[in-house]
Amino acid sequence: MIIDDQHYDVIIVGTGAGGGTMAQKLAPTGKKILILERGSFLSEEENFEAGEVFKKERYRASEEWYDKEGEPFFPQTSYAVGGDTKTYSGELLRLREKDFEQVQHQIGFSPEWPIKYKDLEPYYNEAEKLYNVGGQFGEDPTEPPHSQEYLSPAVSHEPQIQEISDVVAKLGLHPSHLPLGLKSEVQGIGSVYDYPNVTLKTDALVTCLHTNPSGNEVKAVEVQIGTQSYLFFAHIIVLACGAVNTAALLLRSHNEKHPTGLANSSDQVGRNFMKHLMTSIVQLRPTTNSGTFPKTLSINDFYWGDENFPFPMGSIQNTGGLLQNVMFAESPPLLSGLAKLLPGFGLRQLATRSIGWWLQTEDLPDPDNRVRIKNSKLYLDYTPNNTEAHDRLIYRWIDILKTVDKTMGNPLSRGIYPRAEAPLGVIAHQCGTCRFGEDPKISVLNLDCRTHDVENLYIVDGSFFPSNPAVNPSLTIIANALRVGDHLIGTF
């Protein structure tokens, strides 16, 4: 074990939406900051290349996790500088104002948040500025109020997407431009490692957090770099490893004062794991496209339900070009099946003659959906819920696609819309494993996202979410990291 002779003001673990944003917030303070990232830098030119994504499974971790039946799987996640903000499609949406309240679903309630939209709204503004979000306010009837306009215009639709959007609008719906982050650099962390007070260590896997004898402060962070273990010391520790790995790290850091896991007196660490119910749908088109265009279109008319189902159903987005989009990683088997129905079409032909759609529905917190550690193995117990709402969204959208194709005279669709549900290994939009709240008996974090049990330990990834509203969580993670960053600056 090598003991580092430096003493830092802050150690940040993880460089994605939460950790990277926190680093950007704190770097200008001049405080001595150590950033630990278990991955390294990604090659930009390969980042969205189809062969890297599909054939080499670039964005699946090499480690094995286990499902509730004990079956192993490889999670689709990226360990790299920038985290999964390097491989997502840049969509940065605000939660709806009502999402912060208790919401009735068909199967129960999603809980009220301990802060409200108005508390986070200034940080949404700051987040949109920091990530140069381009959008067009006023198109989406579910979008919450903004005290600041988008600083950049929305990204224009691909011509085929624009045609579909126009037809959908004539059907009485409200297609809108997705707010997208327009930075070209590593999204989460930016270039904060250029600050002289910031040290970034890559290929640095944090294995344990060690507390003082009383257990009320983290005194050292144990890190594996290559074959050697190191101990690093800091006044404040900020975790942003993702909802699964943050919970796993706390559980693995159990000691005499924290026998069931660090900061786990509530027995809530790892519980209430959520990830959206997600389905991809393929729509064949008679004309070709580049296969590499971005996601730009969303439809939220069914976010709160419809006339036949008065409960939230979710959000619809186009996937972007099927040759590049990481979130559409199920497209090769989908297109392979479609090729059998359409002899004479190769996979690339089908990809460039198809539009992908991405549908996501809120899953509700369930304490039995959880991260747990057994015999040093990471188990992710997860049973999807709220499935009827998601099924209704799927069939509602397929009916609309049929009308769109009929209106546009599409001879290729034949009423065939192949689809695939995201399996457990697709852990995009993970959240909920260390929820925040005022009562330490039923929450892990206080309202400043500091653990109730450990005075200098904060969490700023999606772990803090009490519920999982159906829009992408990235901007809310970023905004909350900025909020918590302001709190930390106030304590310096």
Residue at 195: amino acid letter = Y
Residue at 15: amino acid letter = T
Handedness of CA 423, 397, 180, 160 (dihedral sign): positive
**Beta bridge mates, 277:** 361
Q: What is the pLDDT at residue 257?
A: 97
Tell me how far apart the 2 most distant CA atoms of the chain are, in Å.
72
| Placement of tokens 């129960």 in the chain | 108
Q: What is the pLDDT at residue 330?
A: 45
Does this model's pTM top 0.85? yes
Each residue of 242-256: pLDDT tens digit? 999 999 999 999 999
Average pLDDT score, the chain:
90
Whose CA is closest to 479, among 435, 439, 449, 438? 449
Residues of the chain short of pLDDT 70, as ranges, are 43-61, 85-88, 183-188, 324-347
Q: What is the pLDDT at residue 339?
A: 59
Residue-by-residue DSSP string for 304-322: T-BTTB-S---EEEE---T
Distances in whole angstroms, Cα of residue 367 to Cα of each of 272, 364, 383, 425, 433: 5, 10, 11, 20, 9
Distance (Å, whole) CA 50 – CA 324 = 5
Whose CA is closest to 134, among 112, 156, 154? 154
Q: What is the pLDDT at residue 382?
A: 98
Query: Residue 246: what are its φ and ψ, rounded to 5°?
Result: -65, -50
Would you give the distance in Å from CA 208 to the centre of its chain?
Answer: 24
Which domains does the chain carry?
A: 2-42+79-491 (3.50.50.60)
Residue-by-residue DSSP string for 84-149: GGGTS--B--PPPGGGGS-EEETTEEEPPPSS-HHHHHHHHHHHHHHTTEE--TTS-TTPPP-SS-
Distance (Å, whole) CA 314 – CA 96 = 12
Secondary structure string (H, E, C) spanning 28-84: HHCCCEEEECCCECCCHHHCCCHHHHHHCCCCCCCCCEEECCCCEECCECCCECCHH
Distances in whole angstroms, Cα of residue 200 to Cα of each of 23, 65, 384, 481: 10, 27, 38, 19
Both tokens assigned to 464: 């803090």
Contact 432, 273 (CB under 8 A): yes
Whose CA is closest to 241, among 38, 88, 404, 3? 38
**Helix (H), strand (E) at residue 13:** strand 2-13
Both tokens assigned to 315: 């959000």
Do the bridges between strand 204-211 and strand 218-225 make them parallel or antiparallel, or are there none, so unpaired?
antiparallel
For residue 293, count other CB atoms closer than 10 A to its CB: 23
